[in-house]
Amino acid sequence: MSAIDLEGLILTKRENIRYVSGFTGSSSVAVVTAGKPILITDGRYREQADLETSGWEVVIYSSDMTKTIAGSVKDISLIGLEDSSSLGFHKRLTGALANAEITFTDGMVEGLRARKEAGEIATIREAADCARRAWQTLLPMIRPGVTERQLAAALDYRMMTAGADKPAFDTIVASGPNASKPHAGITDRALEQGDQVVIDFGARKDGYCCDLTRTVAVGEPSDRAARIAAAVLGAWDAAFAALAPGVSAPKVDAAARDYLENEGFADQFVHGLGHGVGLEVHEKPTISRLSREVLDPGMVFTIEPGVYLSGETGARHEETVLLTPAGPEIL
């Protein structure tokens, strides 16, 4: 904040508020200044805010939150507001802070969140373990006649009984021709012999996520489906081998993309290679051709190359990976 002359910063994004304060409630604003930081929330969370925060002043508002914010920063002339805040909130805040200049900030807290501390890594590891155990018990259920919807529901249930708080996102089960859609919706399609099935799932544990994708065949896959799956695994290995502290994200993306180009599937890899994982299932860093980020130790992200043949089939393999000073580790 001091580097850009900000006297205060207003946080509205739920994940950022949790990161800086520990508060997990659904309605709050955090105000960070050179003095004691302030958490503003409503009466439903009075007790919870006191329990979850330490070193924060908890203020309960009753009518207009922006007026409460204004009262806490009345001596500040330049204050930052997260650019993820709504336009309506910005408009109301501008009216309440008539004597202060408000400037939007971009990714100030997200930049800190990109490098995980030991406790965060341990929690993501727990989430991944919940997903792994759920997956192992789901495998016998993947057979002809079972529907995509039944598999998704069973996997969600298994993750929660394994200790997850809930799924990290809407589980994807894409079978047969649906596997050609990277983010296919759940349908009532029943699995058939020879289907290729892409299953994208993740668990959330104590607020932190993991993200995994597996591709399986129902019975013997066709030669074409097997070739696609093998190409995806080869691209994954190529990307993993390129990972190291200080490597640029586009270089890792290129390693997977070059492998698939050599296999004849360059045009069928239609998304970036990966994304950060933490309090959000998609956060910094972005691993793609367009990324400007450099990968550092402590970052947790996915590696997920895929090949999709429109209306026919598809394959993707995804792991949640931690970058350590010694190199990458699959969580």
- For the chain, give the mean pLDDT: 96
Measured distance CA(144)–CA(141) in Å, rounded = 9
The token pair at 99 is 């004597």
Q: Which fold has domain 118-330?
A: Creatine Amidinohydrolase (3.90.230)
Tens digits of per-residue pLDDT, 28-66? 999 999 889 999 999 999 999 999 999 999 999 988 889
Q: Give the pLDDT mean for 108-130.
A: 97
User: Which of 73-82, 193-202, 315-324 has the weakest average pLDDT?
Assistant: 73-82
**Domain ranges (residues) in the chain:** 2-113, 118-330
Categorize the per-residue pLDDT at 98 as very low, low, confident or very high, splitting at 50, 70 and 90.
confident
Measured distance CA(128)–CA(151) in Å, rounded = 19
User: Considering only CA atoms, which of 24, 119, 145, 11 is closest in space to residue 73?
Assistant: 11
Measured distance CA(331)–CA(124) in Å, rounded = 8
pLDDT given for residue 64 in this prediction: 86
Phi, psi of 301 (to 5 degrees): -155, 170
Spell out the SS3 assignment of 52-107.
HCCCCEEEECCCCHHHHHHHHCCCCCEEEEECCCCHHHHHHHHHHCCCCEEEEECC
User: Considering only CA atoms, which of 143, 153, 240 is closest in space to residue 195?
Assistant: 143
pLDDT given for residue 58 in this prediction: 96
- Is it true that domain 2-113 has CATH number 3.40.50.1860? no
pLDDT given for residue 49 in this prediction: 97
Residue 77 has pLDDT above 90, yes or no: no
Residue 159 has pLDDT above 90, yes or no: yes
Measured distance CA(273)–CA(288) in Å, rounded = 6
pLDDT given for residue 75 in this prediction: 82
Say whether 33 sits in a helix, a strand or coil: strand
Tens digits of per-residue pLDDT, 198-257? 999 999 999 999 999 999 999 999 999 999 999 999 999 999 999 999 999 999 999 999
Residue 310 has pLDDT above 90, yes or no: yes
Q: Give the pLDDT mean for 280-299.
A: 97
Residue 281 has pLDDT above 90, yes or no: yes
Tens digits of per-residue pLDDT, 166-211? 999 999 999 999 999 999 999 999 999 999 999 999 999 999 999 9
pLDDT given for residue 275 in this prediction: 98
State pTM to two decimals: 0.94
